Amino acid sequence: MSNITIENISFSYDNKNVFSDYSHSFPIGEVSVIMAPSGFGKTTLLYMIAGLISPSTGSIKIPMNNPRFSFAFQDLRLIESATVTKNITLVNSKVHKQSDELYECLEALNIKALANKRVSALSGGEKSRVAIARALMADYDILLLDEPFNGLDDETKLHTMKYIKEKTAHKTVLLVTHNKDEASFFA
C-alpha cells in the first residue's frame, strides 16, 4: 500500500454530520491539496489522519508503522511567551538554537531577524511563518498544513510556498486551502 487510505468514515460534531461513509486515498511521497467550502470537515479530516480524533465508523490506514506527524495548525498553537527559536526547537531535539539548518529555515522564511523575539511581539504573518518553520523542522513522515498561508501578503506567500515545495519534495504533505492559486501551485 502506498497511499493513506480512508475507508467509509463517518463523523459528527454536535449532531452535525461532517462525514458520512467517506472514502478517499492520498499518495505517499507527494503533496495532496484538500479544498472544500468552510464547514465541510477539512480540518477534521487532518485531525483524524493524525490520530487526534477518531472517526465514528470506518478506518484510516497509513502504510507505515508509527508514522510521525508534523502539523501547522490553522490556529498556530505557538507559545506566545517563548522566543521564535524556542517555539521551533521544541519539536525536534536534534535541532538546536545555533544550528545551520534552523537558521537556513528562518532566513528562507524571512524571519531570521526575529529569532530571539518573543512570539507575542510578532505580527500575524510573522507568527504564521514561525508555525510553518516549526512544522518543517520537526522530524516527520507526514506533514499536515491547515491554511498555512493566512496573513501573508502575496510576495511573502509566494516565497514561503516555494520554500515549502523545495523542502517537501518527495515527502507526504496534506495541504488544506481555500485558495485556488495555492492549490494550483502545489498540484
CB 131 within 8 Å of CB 77: yes
Can you read off the three cell numbers belonging to residue 130?
Answer: 514561525
CB 119 within 8 Å of CB 85: no
Q: What is the pLDDT of residue 1?
A: 56
The model's pLDDT over 128-183, given as tens digits with 9 standing for 90+, comes to 999 999 999 999 999 999 999 999 999 999 999 999 999 999 999 999 999 999 99
Residue 164 DSSP one-character state: H
Helices (H), 63-179: 84-89, 100-108, 124-137, 154-167
Superfamily the domain 3-186 falls into: P-loop containing nucleotide triphosphate hydrolases (3.40.50.300)
CB 54 within 8 Å of CB 48: yes
Q: What is the pLDDT of residue 130?
A: 98
Helices (H), 62-123: 84-89, 100-108
Please say whether the dihedral angle defined by the alpha carbons of residues 55, 60, 66 and 71, taken in this order, is positive or negative.
Answer: negative
Angstrom distance (rounded) from CA 85 to CA 42: 29
Task: Parse the chain into domains and list their residue ranges.
Answer: 3-186
The whole model's pTM is what?
A: 0.95
The model's pLDDT over 16-64, given as tens digits with 9 standing for 90+, comes to 999 999 999 999 999 999 999 888 999 999 999 999 999 999 999 999 9
Rg (CA), the chain: 17
Q: Which residues make beta-bridge pairs with 4? A: 26
Hunting for cell 493513506 — which residue is that?
4
Q: What is the pLDDT of residue 155?
A: 96
Q: What is the pLDDT of residue 187?
A: 84
CB 44 within 8 Å of CB 53: yes
Angstrom distance (rounded) from CA 99 to CA 106: 11
Angstrom distance (rounded) from CA 6 to CA 85: 36
The model's pLDDT over 82-101, given as tens digits with 9 standing for 90+, comes to 999 999 999 887 787 778 89
Angstrom distance (rounded) from CA 173 to CA 170: 9
For the beta carbon of residue 142, count every other beta carbon within 10 angstroms.
Answer: 21
Residue 178 DSSP one-character state: S
